[in-house]
Structure 1
Amino acid sequence: MSAIYFIVLLPLLAALFAGLGNRIIGNTVAKTVTTGALFIACALSWSIFLGFWLGDSEAIVAPAFTWIRSGTFDVAWALRVDTLTATMLIVITSVSALVHLYSWSYMAEDPDQPRFFAYLSLFTFAMLMLVTANNLLQMFFGWEGVGLASYLLIGFWFKKPSASAAAIKAFVVNRVGDLGFMMGIFGVYLVFGTISIPDILEAAPSMAGSTIGFLGGRFDTMTVLCLLLFLGAMGKSAQLGLHTWLPDAMEGPTPVSALIHAATMVTAGVFMVCRLSPLFETSEVATSVVTIVGAATCIFAATIGTVQNDIKRVIAYSTCSQLGYMFFAAGVGAYGAAMFHLLTHAFFKALLFLCAGSVIHAMHHEQDMRYYGGLRKSIPLTYWAMLLGTLAITGVGIPGTSLGFAGFFSKDAILESAYAAGGHGTGAFFVGALAALLTSFYSWRLIFLTFFGRPRWAESEHIQHALHGDHHDHPADEHDDHAHAHADNHAHDAHGVTDAHFVDTTGSGGYHPHESPLPMLVPLIVLTVGAVFGGLAFHHAFVGAEEGAGFWRGSLFFDAHLMHAAHEVPTWVKWTPFAVMLTGLVLAWLSYIKHTDWPARFTAQWSVLYDFLLNKWYFDELYNHLFVKPAFFLGRIFWKGGDQGTIDRFGPNGLAALVVQGGKVTRRLQTGYLYSYALVMLIGLAAATTWAIAR
């Protein structure tokens, strides 16, 4: 199992090589080294996972070194490898390797490619550290590492103000959740005297029913600890209340969205809850909160996704909604189903993000779907890949059979488990079913607006710039996915936008979209395989009532009785996801293919509701009034009154002014006349004599 050292260290070494070498080593060398390292790590990760899947491997802890030793506080750096870790390893390394390859072409015209690939590899290393952690402090190291790397990647185009603002927002919002995570770690050490994950999970049942002092009162110990830890998961996984950073993070390059916001960092919270599932199972209140928050996030994000026009933001809110599914699955005790959906979601959501990048690439960086239409013939491979990804996310499949796409197996497993759990799970089932209907609607809305109907390309500002040969100094606006590259005056001919491609087409404005190059298409093909067959291949192992316990081997809490009950739910429960999926598809087809005037009529009649959803439930405006403006107000008080008015006035500035005034007085004595200096000398002599006599 020494392969785990290579899996973790290869991305770090590649990041250091590309980052420190930068332009000295050149773009090709940096891309080759980082991408090669990730594909090697990916191959090793799959070999480890297959060992657990086939039942040939056992969990191990690979020691590295002693990190901290202070009194009774002893932290050893060790890499934990079990089924849960192995699952995360294939998710992280597979998506990261494909994103590295995809970025070869997508970032081809960017002047800072070594830096970009170094950031990608650094993020992958941090994520791998998080999932292989054997103690909470080591997990926190990876937790903060992915936060740092995501800040660097979201704000990669730092000359683009909106990207810099989005990076700062992501960093600040995550600090709120991280405060909860830190307090949870402190509390765990206070209660258990250790931060070793195996020791904590073993001792957790013995603390059930005990109380602890917190915020001036006494509360159930395990509830307090679990809720603090869950607060960290809410921030990292963009749950309701701490979700506001995720849509803005789409300002980063599209490959970043596919890596961070589809398959890895945003699932860190789900992983943490599953890793500590025996801890959460000791508190009914904590699991209820996880269920309610997950269900609320699921429906909240789905409603917003129905009205978004930016293709990446639709998929971003979809991610937020799908994370809600994973959390309420964990909340009802179906941790295997939560991880199953995490795995399948990684495949089809990374596929959708990369397909969106391919569409943006073809449409000269236009991200507004209102300026798409009729693209299925121009970019056929992207169309079919995105269509299959949509079939996967909407959960197309026939209940009671093995015919279905990845989302069919994993999403249905979550909904059936929620219904079987009863209590809050029943409510989560109905909320999840409604969210599934909305998911189907906005997913097919995206497909119909992008690939069907008449071309609306002539209305796009970006296309007009291309048509008129304005390849340089392109303004950086909110839809410009390559604004930083444009600001550096790099021509778009690298993306195939040449006069030879300008063909008069009805509604096209004379612009002809082009299919992406091979390095971008290969990842789409590979991820499509996962989106189509991933659910069928793994559903027995992940959520099987008999096979599940043997597959997970204690790496998470697995309730075989719940899984058995989930398979025995009434027939109408099994068919509900299929019915809502079909309903959403029909509504989208009627609205955007058959009766294209319906959306405008709906928004006119329900303008208040439409504005409410379009403005994302006004969370940003609310937070702006509650937190941002008061923070700036206090900042101005301390800056103007405290820093400038007090510290600077009576400190360095005051002393400097005193010296200046003293200099002005002294300068008056420097007259240049001998009798003036003699008078001063006599006065000084008289003063000295007087002092001596007085003594």
Structure 2
Amino acid sequence: MLAVTTVFLPLLTAALVGLLSRSFSDRVASVVTCSGLGLSALCSWLLFFQIVPAGEGFVLPLMTWASSGALAFDWALRIDTLSVVMLTTVTTISFLVHVYSVGYMAKDRSVPRFMAYLSLFTFFMLMLVTADNLIQLFFGWEGVGLSSYLLIGFWFERPSANAAAVKAFLVNRVGDLFFLMGIFCIFWHFGSVQFATIFEVAPSIAHHTVHFLWTDWNVMTLACVLLFLGAMGKSAQIGLHTWLPDAMEGPTPVSALIHAATMVTAGVFLVARMSPLFTLSDTAMTMVTVVGAATAFFAATVACTQTDIKRVIAYSTCSQLGYMFFALGVGAFGAGIFHLMTHAFFKALLFLGAGSVIHAMSDEQDMRKMGGIWKLIPLTYAMMWIGSLALMGIWPFAGYFSKDTIIEAAYAASGWHSDVAFYAAIVVATLTAFYSTRLIALTFHGAPRADERVMDHVHESPRVMTLPLVLLAVGAVLAGVLGYNSFVGDGRFAFWAGSIVGTPGDVTDLAHHVPLLVKLAPLVCSLFGVLAGVVFYVWKPCLPGRVAGAFPLAYRFLLNKWYFDEVYNAVFIRPAFAIGRLFWKTGDRAVIDGLGPDGLSRITSGAASVFSRIQNGLVSRYAFVMIFGLTGVVTWLLMTAFR
């Protein structure tokens, strides 16, 4: 009963508020959706404390979904430790985002629609993380994509919001195509889409091969690579990341929900859930590690030059997702999910804190037009520092425990790919501290750079917005120290209870015995990044301009986000539009319409024009036509008679 309530209550409230939005006031819609998510979060925590101490999960069948030949599966809820960790994280963050939205969206014209979309988004994520088979997981996967489209484009009057929603939808479809191919591959070779059957059969076919794309592939490698390519789309890994920064066009609560606990973590969850398959393919694990490390480095470099406060945090999300993936790639699955959980708290805190700043600054998002406001909004300022320190990985905040474990695991793992991940992680830790300090300095410190009219209205957000910030700050401080032993410490085997792959003496165990210098390196690098940020943006604010002027090519390269969008526009978008115009103007309009309905209409119109000239009311012309016609008939009869 707890599982059903947790998963389906958000759907019920979304349907109720969405279908009856015209009958509900903004206040009633907010109360219904917030109450539903609050009860769902409570049930998820009760479920957590029911499942984890017992060390045993269960599968709750709801109904037979499909049965066609060899393809048969139920709609069922798979409840184990991995599921309940995701359930508690998603529902807790979503509930706080719902409450925050009551204040943030108070003046919007479509509050019931917005709250219904948030609850629907949460339901699909819950369906995804409780799936017992790949088809059900894909159902939740696509539902999350649909909901993100609705939420990113919520302010549909803005062309930029519409463009961002379409971009997110289309880029994710690229990843989803590979995910579908991965599902087809698994069903073809495993004979099932049920997780239990797949995990049982996997070792016996680990060395089978299949011919695909003009080469022979190991079946396990092919399936895992296809699944990971699908995960890259949802989790915005390098190459399929371009939708993530543009998603900032949605309201700030949407950004917090997408980036903290729902959509972008779906890919991380997928790889963790399928860990029994990934560990059987060294090629797939190497790919996950390298792509994750590359994403972490790429996004961190770009975040150092962005000026929109939400975009800086967005690229931070992209970078932290890279950490999660290379943790999974080196085999530290518990560390990857640990960082997913801690990151959810401090990233939601940063986004909602940014929303509080934007609210105070009369909807201004450009950090170059802020400054000098820390005394005016002291609570928001304190919350942003807590979120930033957790993001940097400063002790004793949550990020220190989860991120440092990932870096130590990368060092302890064997192989060139783990070495790449380790050194990339050290550099990224420095950059993360630098751009986080830069964000704090530009936003809150220095002389005010906003108009006097804006500065006169700077004020702290209402309690309905600041209370979620305080609760998230508690998580950003305590989640790491409270979860360390269970997620990656001595109690991890009893905690995970087989829901992810882990064995005594694996890379997570080795991570606890790395040299002291390795343990201290991330913290030292983070402190160096903080110092650099203070020097550049507090003590010597003229330095950033000088550095940008001294290295203009590098600065423009980072400012333009490595030119991914420009390359994609040149290689894919413009050719696609050109082909579309060709088929539209030449194929559709000239050929199909020209020879089809338009051609027939022209012939009919021409004939009508000719006959209309005859029917002009003149008796002489009627007589001429009659004589002409009679002559034609007589001529035809004579020719027929003498043939």
Q: Displacement, 1:668?
A: 3.6
Choose from 580, 586, 600 the match for 1:655.
600
Alignment of 1:118-133 (within 5 A): 118-133=116-131
Q: Displacement, 1:143?
A: 0.6
Match of 1:587 in 2: 532
Match of 1:420 in 2: 412
Alignment of 1:509-528 (within 5 A): 511-528=456-473
Match of 2:336 in 1: 338
Q: Is the partner of 1:23 in helix, strand or coil? A: coil
Q: Displacement, 1:664?
A: 1.8
Match of 1:482 in 2: none
Cα–Cα, structure 1 residues 678 and 628, in superposed 2: closer, same or farther, change >3 Å? closer
Match of 2:237 in 1: 239
1-side partners of 2:139 and 2:187: how far apart? 16
| 1:457 is aligned to 2:457 | no
Match of 1:165 in 2: 163
2-side partners of 1:691 and 1:11: how far apart? 86
Match of 1:480 in 2: none
Q: Is the partner of 1:22 in helix, strand or coil? A: coil
| 1:5 is aligned to 2:4 | yes
Choose from 573, 577, 583 the match for 1:632.
577
Q: Displacement, 1:18?
A: 1.4
Deviation by residue 1:143-202 (Cα, 9 ceiling, x = unmatched):
111101001100111111111111111111111111110110111111111111111111
Alignment of 1:251-290 (within 5 A): 251-290=249-288
Match of 1:551 in 2: 495
Cα–Cα, structure 1 residues 639 and 580, in superposed 2: closer, same or farther, change >3 Å? same
Choose from 310, 317, 320 the match for 1:319.
317
Deviation by residue 1:506-561 (Cα, 9 ceiling, x = unmatched):
xx5xx2410000110110011000000000111100001x3111111111111331
Q: Is the partner of 1:67 in helix, strand or coil? A: strand
1-side partners of 2:308 and 2:412: how far apart? 37
Answer yes or no: is the 8 Å Cα contact 2:326–2:421 preserved in 1. yes
Moved more, 440-449 or 671-680: 671-680
Deviation by residue 1:345-368 (Cα, 9 ceiling, x = unmatched):
000000000000000000011111
Answer yes or no: is the 8 Å Cα contact 1:333–1:559 preserved in 2. no
Alignment of 1:148-547 (within 5 A): 148-397=146-395, 404-423=396-415, 424-458=417-451, 464=453, 508=455, 511-544=456-489, 546-547=490-491
Q: Is the partner of 1:513 in helix, strand or coil? A: coil
Q: Is the partner of 1:25 in helix, strand or coil? A: coil
Answer yes or no: is the 8 Å Cα contact 1:418–1:426 preserved in 2. yes
Match of 2:516 in 1: 571
1-side partners of 2:563 and 2:328: how far apart? 28
2-side partners of 1:537 and 1:132: how far apart? 24
Moved more, 593-602 or 94-103: 593-602
1-side partners of 2:524 and 2:202: how far apart? 42
Deviation by residue 1:393-418 (Cα, 9 ceiling, x = unmatched):
11111xxxxxx110010001101111
Cα–Cα, structure 1 residues 686 and 249, in superposed 2: closer, same or farther, change >3 Å? same
Cα–Cα, structure 1 residues 680 and 521, in superposed 2: closer, same or farther, change >3 Å? same
Cα–Cα, structure 1 residues 684 and 355, in superposed 2: closer, same or farther, change >3 Å? same
Match of 2:115 in 1: 117
Cα–Cα, structure 1 residues 694 and 550, in superposed 2: closer, same or farther, change >3 Å? farther
Answer yes or no: is the 8 Å Cα contact 1:46–1:90 preserved in 2. yes
Deviation by residue 1:199-241 (Cα, 9 ceiling, x = unmatched):
1111111111211111122111111111010000000000000
Q: Is the partner of 1:66 in helix, strand or coil? A: strand
Q: Displacement, 1:51?
A: 2.3
Alignment of 1:61-72 (within 5 A): 61-72=59-70
Gaps of 5+ in 2: none
Q: Displacement, 1:50?
A: 2.1
Choose from 593, 601, 604 the match for 2:546.
601
Answer yes or no: is the 8 Å Cα contact 1:327–1:338 preserved in 2. yes
Letter in 2 for 1:554: G
Q: Displacement, 1:663?
A: 1.1
2-side partners of 1:432 and 1:451: how far apart? 28
TM-align CA RMSD: 1.8
Answer yes or no: is the 8 Å Cα contact 1:99–1:523 preserved in 2. yes
Moved more, 336-345 or 159-168: 159-168
1-side partners of 2:60 and 2:640: how far apart? 82
Answer yes or no: is the 8 Å Cα contact 2:372–2:445 preserved in 1. yes
Q: Displacement, 1:691?
A: 11
Letter in 2 for 1:436: A
Match of 1:487 in 2: none
Answer yes or no: is the 8 Å Cα contact 1:301–1:320 preserved in 2. yes
Q: Is the partner of 1:157 in helix, strand or coil? A: coil
Letter in 1 for 2:404: D
Cα–Cα, structure 1 residues 30 and 694, in superposed 2: closer, same or farther, change >3 Å? farther
2-side partners of 1:538 and 1:522: how far apart? 23
Gaps of 5+ in 1: 398-403, 467-507
Match of 1:492 in 2: none
Letter in 2 for 1:624: N
2-side partners of 1:557 and 1:151: how far apart? 34
Q: Displacement, 1:457?
A: 1.8
Deviation by residue 1:74-128 (Cα, 9 ceiling, x = unmatched):
1211111110010110111111111111011101111011111111111111111
Match of 1:86 in 2: 84
2-side partners of 1:72 and 1:223: how far apart? 24
Letter in 2 for 1:47: L
2-side partners of 1:285 and 1:642: how far apart? 45
Match of 2:587 in 1: 642
Structure-1-length-normalised TM-score: 0.89
Answer yes or no: is the 8 Å Cα contact 1:52–1:551 preserved in 2. no
